[in-house]
Every structure is written in C-alpha cells, then in structure tokens.
Chains A and B, each alone.
Chain A
Amino acid sequence: MTDLSTNAKVPGAETEAQFGDYFALLKPRVMTLVVFTAFVGLLAAPASVHPFVGFCAILFIAVGGGASGALNMWWDADIDAVMRRTARRPIPSGRVEGGEALAIGLVLSAFAVVFLGLATNWLAAGLLAFTIFFYVVIYTMWLKRTTPQNIVIGGAAGAFPPMIGWAAATGSVSVEAVLMFCLTFMWTPPHFWALALFMRGDYDAAKVPMLTVTHGRRSTRVHILVYTVLLAALAVGTAFTAVGGPVYLATALVLNALFLKGAWDIFRRDEAASEADNYKAEKAFFKLSLLYLFAHFGAILVEAGLARFGFGGWA
C-alpha cells in the first residue's frame, strides 16, 4: 500500500510567494505618492479628461511606478539584504526569485507605457518610459552606489508623476507642470537625509554613499537646512502661479514655517543631543515631510476643484 500523505512537510512551502509578495515588489507605499501626485497633475491641468480615461491614466502611471520599484528591488537585492529597513522585502527574504522580479518589472513597464500611450497620448507615455529608465538605470544602477548626490538627482524620478498626469490631460508640458515637478524634486533630499540621520548604520553597512557616510552627519544637517530654505521659496512662490491660490498660499505658509523650524532644529543639534533623545527632532521632521508633500498637492487639488466652480486661484 502506498503511504500517501499530503500533510507531510513540503520543502519551501513556507517561503513560497503569495500574491501579496508580488504586490510588495511594486512598493505600494511609494505608489500612493505616485498615484496622488499624478492625480493632482491630471486634475489641475486646464483640460477635461473623461473620468474613465483619467482613472486608467492614473492606474497605468501607478503600474509603471510599481514596475520600476520591482526592477529596483531586483538590482538592489544584495544591499536590501544587509539593511534592517529592507531586509524583509520579498527578494532578500527568499519569497520571490530575483529573475521573477526582473520579469515582472519588465513586463509591467512595457504594459504601462504602451497602454498609457493608447489611453491618453504618447508624450505622457514617453515621460513615463523616461521616468522608469531614470529610476532604474540612472538612479538604481548608476548613481545610488557611486555618488552622495544619489538622492538629489535620483529624486527626479519620483517627481515626474504630476508632470505625466498633466501631460496625459493636456498633451503638453507647461510651467505649472514643471513647478509641480520641482516641488517633489526639492522635497526629496531633506526627506531622505532626515531618514539617513536616524537610520544610522543601515547605509554604512550596505556601503551606499549617502551624504551621512561620505560627508559626515554635520554636513548632512547643513544640507537639510539649505535645501529646505530653497524648497520653501519654491513652494510659496508656486502660490502665485496658475495652480496656486489663497488656499494653497495659506497651506504653504503654515507648512513651510513648520518645515523651516524643523530643519533649523536639526541644524542646531549635534550627534550627542540627537542620540540622547533617540533622534526625536529628525524623526519628527521626517514625519512632517510626508504631511508636507501631501498637503501641498492636496491644496493644489482644492484650488483645481474650486476653479471648476469659479472660485479657485487669484481671479
């Protein structure tokens, strides 16, 4: 008689990937930022888009962003494994093979670009293709491991979605779309440098040349302050363009005052003070930075919504 038991331990069963593991390859948290900013870019644009086409455009932009995340995880699996923050990602934890992530990333990239082009226009599709290329090749494969300016230049990849949303609606790129790009672009360095300050050790262990590693923590604090001052000028100045208005101006004034205060606090502290309270100011600045970006784009969205009823902007 055959001893047939399907309750026996199956090698690898515990680590076999589930659907959620493949979804995690797309970096869902980053995707929320991509979806939201692309949505704002699409709605703030001075053109009407069919709601279903608009929905599809956002979906394809999100899929494209997710695909670049999968390709990033494929390439960075070695350093993800040694960093606490990323060690539990699907590839370093052994749940998904690197080759699977590569295949998913490539297929979804092609899918997202082609379908965005078919649904809206080829300028938007071209921008999405460039964003994926920039994030995967320029940032992940080249800059991330070679220069402390990795975050500054690489931040461009995360800044493109509102411009793509705008291009999807209008078929062109205008000053307002570039300003929305600049807002995210200038916001990225202080956001990540604050993270690098309190996640100390992670980047050192992975030998990623973050500013904290190459130029020291004092220099990083100075850089955070300088970039925050430049960002504040840009963010408040945007209030006086076609995408701004009183609601945006009020939001920008409050949040930039808080953000500048946070950057000043970080600048004034030394390592001993930060270690004493477990990087309280740095963590608070990082949390505020998340609210900062969502609130600015939220205010642009409100202005666009009000404009449809004849109230938005300065007119």
Chain B
Amino acid sequence: MSIARLHDLHKRRMGRNLGVGLVLAAFIVIIFGLTIVKIGRGDFSTNPGAPGRAIEETSNEN
C-alpha cells in the first residue's frame, strides 16, 4: 500500500488555485494603483482648489 501526499489531481488543483490567487492579487494591485492615480489627480476632490481640479478647469477654458 502506498500513501502519497500528492496525487496528480492535487497538482492540477494547485495550479488552478495558484492562478486564481495571482488574478486576485493582480486585481488588488490594480484597484490600489487606480485609487492612488485618481486621488493624485484630484478626481475625487470636492475642493475647487485641488491640483487636479485646477488642471481640469484650465483645460476646459482652452
């Protein structure tokens, strides 16, 4: 009788789980990155004096 910890099935599932894990990690990085960029540009700012707003308003005037 042989008891092996890893069956081929487990290897397949390992690959699949790893893939899903990497996709979720990439998703977090993307959301974090987008948030940083958008906050940096002042997209979410309600303050008319925020840097992003000032640039937007200047470009609208042109």
A50 and B13 alpha carbons, distance in the complex (Å): 38
Chain B 22-54 interface 0/1 with A at a Cβ cutoff of 8 Å (1 = within)? 000000001001100100010000000000000
Q: Is A315 an interface residue (CB 8 A)?
A: no
Q: Assess the B4–A6 pair: CB atoms within 8 A.
A: yes
Q: Assess the A53–B15 pair: CB atoms within 8 A.
A: no
- Nearest residue, chain A, Cβ from B41: A50
User: Nearest Cβ distance between residue B14 and chain A, in whole angstroms?
Assistant: 10
A50 and B41 alpha carbons, distance in the complex (Å): 10
- Nearest residue, chain B, Cβ from A119: B34
A5 and B33 alpha carbons, distance in the complex (Å): 47
Query: Which of A10-18, A27-35, A86-94 sits within the interface?
Result: A10-18
User: Nearest Cβ distance between residue A55 and chain B, in whole angstroms?
Assistant: 9
B contact patch SS: helix
Which residues of B are found within 8 Å of A16, using beta-carbon distances? 9, 12-13
Q: Assess the A17–B16 pair: CB atoms within 8 A.
A: yes
A50 and B37 alpha carbons, distance in the complex (Å): 8
Q: Assess the A7–B37 pair: CB atoms within 8 A.
A: no
User: Nearest Cβ distance between residue A77 and chain B, in whole angstroms?
Assistant: 21
A13 and B9 alpha carbons, distance in the complex (Å): 6
User: Nearest Cβ distance between residue A49 and chain B, in whole angstroms?
Assistant: 10
A255 and B17 alpha carbons, distance in the complex (Å): 45
Q: Assess the A18–B15 pair: CB atoms within 8 A.
A: yes
- Nearest residue, chain B, Cβ from A14: B8
Q: Please count how many residues in chain A sit with their CB below 8 Å of the partner chain's CB atoms.
A: 20
A17 and B8 alpha carbons, distance in the complex (Å): 13
User: Nearest Cβ distance between residue B35 and chain A, in whole angstroms?
Assistant: 10
A53 and B37 alpha carbons, distance in the complex (Å): 8
Which residues of B are found within 8 Å of A52, using beta-carbon distances? 33-34, 37
Of the residues A7, A19, A22, A118, contact of B2 by C-beta under 8 Å:
A7
A295 and B61 alpha carbons, distance in the complex (Å): 38
Which residues of B are found within 8 Å of A23, using beta-carbon distances? 19
Which residues 48-99 in A have Cβ within 8 Å of B in the complex?
50, 52-53, 56, 59
Which residues of B are found within 8 Å of A275, using beta-carbon distances? none
Which residues of A are found within 8 Å of B37, using beta-carbon distances? 50, 52-53
A118 and B38 alpha carbons, distance in the complex (Å): 10
Which residues of B are found within 8 Å of A119, using beta-carbon distances? 34
Q: Is A254 an interface residue (CB 8 A)?
A: no
- Nearest residue, chain A, Cβ from B20: A19
Which residues of B are found within 8 Å of A19, using beta-carbon distances? 15-16, 18-20
Which residues of A are found within 8 Å of B33, using beta-carbon distances? 52, 56
User: Nearest Cβ distance between residue A94 and chain B, in whole angstroms?
Assistant: 15
User: Given known contacts A18-B15, A19-B18, A52-B37, is B7 in contact with A10 (CB within 8 Å)?
Assistant: yes
Q: Assess the B19–A7 pair: CB atoms within 8 A.
A: no
A23 and B20 alpha carbons, distance in the complex (Å): 11
Q: Assess the A4–B34 pair: CB atoms within 8 A.
A: no
Q: Is A277 an interface residue (CB 8 A)?
A: no
Could you name 15 residue pairs across A and B whose Cβ atoms are closer than 8 Å?
A: A4-B1, A4-B3, A5-B1, A5-B3, A6-B5, A7-B2, A10-B7, A10-B9, A17-B16, A19-B18, A22-B19, A50-B37, A53-B37, A56-B30, A118-B34
Binding site for A on B (CB under 8 A): 1-5, 7-9, 12-13, 15-16, 18-20, 30, 33-34, 37, 41
Report, nearest first, the 4 A-B pairs whose CB atoms are least far apart.
A19-B19, A13-B9, A19-B16, A6-B7
